[in-house]
Amino acid sequence: MAEAAIELIGINKSFGAVQANRDINLEVARGTIHGIVGENGAGKSTLMSILYGFYQADSGEIRVNGKPATIKTSNDAITAGIGMVHQHFMLVDNFTVLENVILGAESNALLKSSIAKARSELIRLEREYGLQVNPDALIEELPVGLQQRVEILKALYRGAEILILDEPTGVLTPAEADHLFRILGQLKEQGKTIVLITHKLREIMAITDSVSVMRQGTIVATRETKKTTVEELAELMVGRRVLLRVEKDAMQAEGVKLSVKNLTVKDLRGVTMVDDVSFDVRAGEIVGIAGVAGNGQSELLEAISGIRKAVSGSVTLDGKPIDLTGAADPGELRERGLAHVPEDRHHVGLVLAFEENENSILGYQDDEQYLKGPFLNIDAIQKDARDKIEKYDIRPANCRLKTANFSGGNQQKIVLAREIEQDPGVLIVGQPTRGVDVGAIEFIHKRLIAMRDAGKAVLLVSVELDEIRSLSDRILVMFAGRIVGERGSDTTEGELGLLMAGVEHKEAAE
């Protein structure tokens, strides 16, 4: 048995009346990859934030490499050889890769010599761990997969021997996730210890040596990965058996609810992101759009939902046109029965500084049910929020809590509850289960199927091919801004992967 790199002994942490961690005992062997799984709000990120010095435990002890460690700040954690890659990256967008890597770790007051030293060290780390990235590139110009490499390089540059990754694949494409796992394997071979927080159980099975399951702030089980199954881990996480496949009846599609014809959209740089795209979505149907991130899916949803101006083409909702001459009014579209769950809940879907009840009506605050004369009816708003919290199992069940204090998966539930409970005729959903645990994924999938069965039209964008295949009645594949193929739900992941890479299935077979 390898010596322990990390020991957490009797860790307790409360936030007011909410006990996030309760008598936690955890041991992670040196030179291994240890997974931590659990439902949203189970206390995983809080526990790792204590290890990294963001929070202080109310009681308990931390040992690093067998020695007691006092970790009151992230600097203490870094000094102890611990690095952390957060779910939402801690990078300065208008700084270069090199500037971000040395930020806060400059060797002396002469920045020029610090940069020269860092450049040579960065080249060594890139070569040793397969983390190639242009040191002079601006962060804002890099795709999200490369931004994550920069976060890992930051930790390694500071001498991390223990690396914590919080939901590292939540914003990655399947190909980027595969590359990340190869990097983690190389880090492990070099003797690094890795703690991986993720909701994706198949990733746990693929990459970890051992896994601990958290539920309601406690660790309920630790298993050797090779001696457990996805089904067992899911049941341990939720406390009941979880349906890991989507059950749905045959589609009963009716008339067209949403029609897109020859739509072309450009980004702020003038680059064409959606190129002459046409498709229909019928009542009682889920149409999924598959594709590697960055191939126009985001811009397509933004144009249809009124956030982004289109260059040309037409969109009709229930046979009536949506004005594309300028950015359409999202409020008007909501009134016409089009609801939108955005891909980026933090920047588009929520105001994190608002209370949960305020976010639960955001965009619908002028509805009569939320008004008392010209003023907001606070009692009605809070009652509505409490009803949604109960119906969607949002945790903690406190509608007065700031939305920033909810876990990512519960924030996603707040957005979904707000949009679905308006009973729209058309629902546009981007990445519905990003950062969401297995129990909540099951719940969200059932909600989307229920909308489809109630005769609603659902347009779904997801980078999760399993999700696209299991939910969709028809699948459209986007590549370089165009629809390059349409398939049924019985298509294979391999066939979709070829289309996503711009290769027609018949071409690949030749």
Domain containing 441 — which CATH number? 3.40.50.300
pLDDT class of 505 with cuts at 50, 70, 90: very low
Where does residue 189 rank: exposed (0-12), middle (13-18), buried (19+ CB within 10 A)? exposed
CA distances from residue 124 to 112, 263, 349 in whole angstroms, order as listed: 19, 46, 40
Share of the chain above pLDDT 90, in %: 56
- Per the domain annotation, does 99 fall within a domain? yes
Look up the domain containing 275 and give its range: 256-337+424-509
What average pLDDT does this structure show over 206-212? Answer: 95
- Per the domain annotation, does 246 fall within a domain? no
pLDDT class of 242 with cuts at 50, 70, 90: low
Q: Please state which of the ranges 12-16, 76-80, 154-158, 493-497 shows the lowest mean pLDDT.
A: 493-497
- Per the domain annotation, does 445 fall within a domain? yes
Tokens of 348: 């588009």
Tell me how far apart the alpha carbons of residues 415 and 504 are, in angstroms, rounded to a whole number.
Answer: 36
245: Cβ contacts below 8 Å, ≥ 6 apart? 470
Domain count, the chain: 2
The answer on 58 and 144 residing in a single domain is: yes
Q: Which of 207, 238, 269 corresponds to the end of one domain?
A: 238
- Per the domain annotation, does 359 fall within a domain? no
pLDDT class of 219 with cuts at 50, 70, 90: very high
User: Above 90 in pLDDT, residue 114?
Assistant: no
With left for phi above 0 and alpha for psi between -120 and 50, is residue 28 left, alpha or beta? beta
Does 502 or 491 have the greater pLDDT score? 491
Query: Residue 99 belongs to what H/E stretch?
Result: helix 97-102
Please report the sign of the dihedral spanned by the C-alpha atoms of residue 342, residue 348, residue 352, residue 354: negative
Tell me how far apart the alpha carbons of residues 316 and 329 are, in angstroms, rounded to a whole number.
Answer: 14
User: Which of 15-19, 294-298, 323-327, 385-389 shows the highest mean pLDDT?
Assistant: 385-389
What average pLDDT does this structure show over 483-497? Answer: 87
Determine the pLDDT at residue 508.
40
The answer on 283 and 189 residing in a single domain is: no
Tell me how far apart the alpha carbons of residues 468 and 244 are, in angstroms, rounded to a whole number.
Answer: 14
The answer on 56 and 137 residing in a single domain is: yes
Nearest to 192 by CA among 226, 171, 161: 161
The answer on 195 and 60 residing in a single domain is: yes
pLDDT class of 504 with cuts at 50, 70, 90: low
- Per the domain annotation, does 352 fall within a domain? no
Tell me how far apart the alpha carbons of residues 437 and 244 are, in angstroms, rounded to a whole number.
Answer: 12
- DSSP 8-state code for residue 5: E
Tell me how far apart the alpha carbons of residues 152 and 183 are, in angstroms, rounded to a whole number.
Answer: 10
User: Above 80 in pLDDT, residue 49?
Assistant: yes
Tell me how far apart the alpha carbons of residues 264 and 303 are, in angstroms, rounded to a whole number.
Answer: 9
Phi/psi at 304 (5° precision): -65, -35
Q: Which of 238, 269, 287 corresponds to the end of one domain?
A: 238
Q: Which of 211, 238, 265 corresponds to the end of one domain?
A: 238
364: Cβ contacts below 8 Å, ≥ 6 apart? 334, 370, 418, 422
pLDDT class of 507 with cuts at 50, 70, 90: very low
The answer on 278 and 228 residing in a single domain is: no
The answer on 136 and 276 residing in a single domain is: no
Residues 74-93 as b/e (b if ≥16 CB within 10 A, e otherwise) read beebbebbbbbbbeebebee
DSSP output for 417-461: HHHHTT--SEEEEESTTTT--HHHHHHHHHHHHHHHHTT-EEEEE
User: Above 90 in pLDDT, residue 363?
Assistant: yes
User: Above 80 in pLDDT, residue 1?
Assistant: no
- Per the domain annotation, does 350 fall within a domain? no
Please report the sign of the dihedral spanned by the C-alpha atoms of residue 41, residue 43, residue 44, residue 50: positive
Does 328 or 7 have the greater pLDDT score? 7
Query: Residue 9 belongs to what H/E stretch?
Result: strand 4-15
pTM, to two decimals: 0.71
> How many other β-carbons are positioned within 10 Å of the β-carbon of residue 500?
22
User: Above 60 in pLDDT, residue 509?
Assistant: no
The answer on 434 and 324 residing in a single domain is: yes
The answer on 297 and 212 residing in a single domain is: no
Share of the chain above pLDDT 70, in %: 94
Q: Please state which of the ranges 10-19, 137-146, 388-397, 412-421 shows the lowest mean pLDDT.
A: 137-146
> How many other β-carbons are positioned within 10 Å of the β-carbon of residue 354?
14
The answer on 318 and 212 residing in a single domain is: no
Q: Which stretches of 256-389 are assigned E, i.e. beta strand?
A: 256-266, 272-282, 285-290, 312-317, 320-322, 338-341, 371-372, 375-376
Mean pLDDT score of the chain, rounded to an integer? Answer: 89
Q: What's the length of the chain?
A: 510
Does 206 or 292 have the greater pLDDT score? 206
The answer on 134 and 15 residing in a single domain is: yes
Decide: 145 and 168 in contact? Cβ < 8 Å: no
- Per the domain annotation, does 310 fall within a domain? yes
- Per the domain annotation, does 407 fall within a domain? no
The answer on 451 and 484 residing in a single domain is: yes
The answer on 192 and 121 residing in a single domain is: yes
476: Cβ contacts below 8 Å, ≥ 6 apart? 279, 287, 288, 289, 290, 483, 485, 486
